[in-house]
Amino acid sequence: MAQPLFGMLHRPAGAVRRTGIVLCTSWGTEYLRSYRGLRQLAQALSHSGFPVLRFDYSGTGDSGGDGRSARVDTWTADITLAAAELRTSTGCDSICLLGLRFGALLAQEAIATGAVAASAIALWDSPPSGEVFVRNLQQMDEALNEKVSQQRRRRSQLPPPARDELLGHEWPEGLAADIGRLPGLRKELPGRVIFVSRDRTPPDSVESIRLPDAGHWSDVERIHSPWIPGPSIRIVAERLADGLP
Amino acid sequence: MNERAISFGESGSLFGILSQPDVADPLRPAVLIPNTGVSHRAGPSRMHVELARALAAAGVVSLRIDNAGLGDSEPIPGRLGDPFAPDLRAAMDALDARNLSSGYIVLGIHSGAHDAHQAARGDPRVVGAAFIDGYTHRTPRYWINRTMDRLADSARRANAELRPQIGLTRQSGDALHDALLNEIHYYDLPTAARMQLDLVEFMRREMSLLYIYTGDVENEYNYPGQLIEAFPLLRGYRRMTLRHIPEADHRFIRRASREAMIDVLVSWVIRVPGQPH
């Protein structure tokens, strides 16, 4: 049975735009780090007249379900549900998916497979590919385990991690392969594609927003630190308000 | 079990998720779970969600909340200093209006334990409190253990580096970005005299108390009976449970530890009596 999803709808202030924006969050530790930051982004976008929906994927955050059954297909279907919910709730007639990190890969998948008809997609700090994202998480996991082991005395070591957990989050068998199949920046996505990053440069043909803030996504010291890049949030909200109806 | 979002507090600026069992017993206390650190109400490694659902399965109502300025709650203008106990009181007011429970248990992890203590101190509706890696007060034996541990382990453990700290205040705003978690200052430890007064008050009210210390605070709490030796008045207090679990952590990065902790917490909660009428 489908589990209920948790979402937060930000109704637009002032003149209402035709485009609704679905925020597609990242995975695990990145999801936790960016929760408040994505809320601030949603508020900034809604103040510019966009209806915005944030939500938690199945088996994560406040949504129903167990993370041990997490799969890419399920989460892509969740994006489809979120987009439909935003249309129904607000009457917006076009959709922009804004994906952060892993969420950018999922958002592309949702559009490329035809699960979501979107007029635009913004890819914020999108990993070069799903495979690179998985490898980065695995390296972070090793670094975190090493750090925790070094910090603790011999008698207070944590039990070894189970095979199906990573960085303190569920990592069921098959998920790595699922994510590893997701490509990086896809060619021929319908609609407008906006690349959002401080450190990565897209091909010339792709519109981009250059950010002042680093995400520190590969820094194990920041794995539990909040991601609230105020200046970048303001820039992204302004640029999207300039370009989307 | 069902869950729904609620807004509460002055002008509805605070946010939480209410978890209710299919059949709630209004004579039982409800559990309030404030934020752990700056993570939103889902908790580290989704701990608060899993705990709330396990409590509901055991017949207990709970509310996991975002303190002001965290998660989906708005900041409270002008609030400074030691901020979050009023949010827990507002949560109690919100649940009182729904007649779902008889008294409250405040359950806090690390910084949340501080919030739980402060809320319990000021509100007689609190009948129980669980503190995971809450306040630690040092004893002579603590210092002996620490010296011995340092001699034994010095070769393999990096010295803790003292870092400058920024305050977790409303003004921090964007400053939280780029701050490492161990640079964020959550609370000041109460003096031993203040703690003693609070414990006298808790015992006078016959509150149920659960203190759990994990290996994440082994630099401040390094043997099972440290709390009792620091505060001998707790010795023999029948409503107090003390657990030292050095192989656990308060970010719950191992599922096995997380599940074991949830079992400990749920089995304690269901034994806490409701508020006498």
The pLDDT tens digits of the residues spanning B67-112 come to 999 999 998 887 765 578 899 999 999 999 998 889 999 999 999 9
CATH (domain of B141): 3.40.50.1820
Give chain A positions within 8 Å (CB) of B215. 152-153, 156-158
The tally of domains found in chain B comes to 1
**What is the sign of the dihedral through the CA atoms of B87, B93, B95 and B97?**
negative
CB contact under 8 A, B253 and A153: no
Which residue among B39, B42, B215 sits closest to A156, beta carbon to beta carbon?
Answer: B215
Range of the domain at B116: 2-159+192-269
A89 Cα to chain B: minimum distance (Å): 17
Q: Specify the amino acid at residue B170.
A: R
Cα distance between residue A175 and residue A161, in whole Å? 17
Whether A137 is covered by a domain: the verdict is no
**B67 and B73 in contact (C-beta within 8 Å)?**
yes
**A26 and A34 in contact (C-beta within 8 Å)?**
yes
What is the number of CB-based contacts under 8 A between chain A and chain B?
Answer: 113
Which residue among A56, A60, A213 sits closest to B177, beta carbon to beta carbon?
Answer: A213
Range of the domain at A41: 7-130+183-243
**A27 and A72 in contact (C-beta within 8 Å)?**
no
Whether A222 is covered by a domain: the verdict is yes
Whether A82 is covered by a domain: the verdict is yes
Whether B255 is covered by a domain: the verdict is yes
Which residue among A6, A60, A158 sits closest to B249, beta carbon to beta carbon?
Answer: A158
Q: Answer whether B75 touches A (CB < 8 Å).
A: no
> Quick one: pLDDT at residue B112?
94
Cα distance between residue A218 and residue A144, in whole Å? 11
CA dihedral (B129, B21, A56, B107) in degrees, to 10, reads 0
Whether A209 is covered by a domain: the verdict is yes
Statement: residue B157 has pLDDT above 60 = no
> Quick one: pLDDT at residue B53?
97
CATH (domain of A63): 3.40.50.1820
pLDDT tens-place string over residues A75-133? 999 999 999 999 999 999 999 999 999 999 999 999 999 999 999 999 999 999 999 99
Whether B149 is covered by a domain: the verdict is yes
pLDDT tens-place string over residues B230-258? 999 999 999 999 999 999 999 899 999 99
Q: Which residues share a beta bridge with A95?
A: A20
Radius of gyration of chain A (CA): 18
Q: Which residues contact B55 (CB under 8 A, 6 or more apart)?
A: B19, B31, B61, B62, B266, B269
Q: Which residue out of A33, A169, A224, A232 would a mutagenesis test of the B interface target, given it has the greatest number of B Cβ atoms within 10 Å?
A: A224
Whether B167 is covered by a domain: the verdict is no
Could you count the other beta carbons within 10 Å of the beta carbon of residue B271? 12
The tally of domains found in chain A comes to 1
Whether A97 is covered by a domain: the verdict is yes
Whether A2 is covered by a domain: the verdict is no
Whether B165 is covered by a domain: the verdict is no
Whether A191 is covered by a domain: the verdict is yes
Whether A51 is covered by a domain: the verdict is yes
**A102 and A137 in contact (C-beta within 8 Å)?**
no
CB contact under 8 A, A230 and B174: yes
Confidence of residue B126 (pLDDT cuts 50, 70, 90): very high
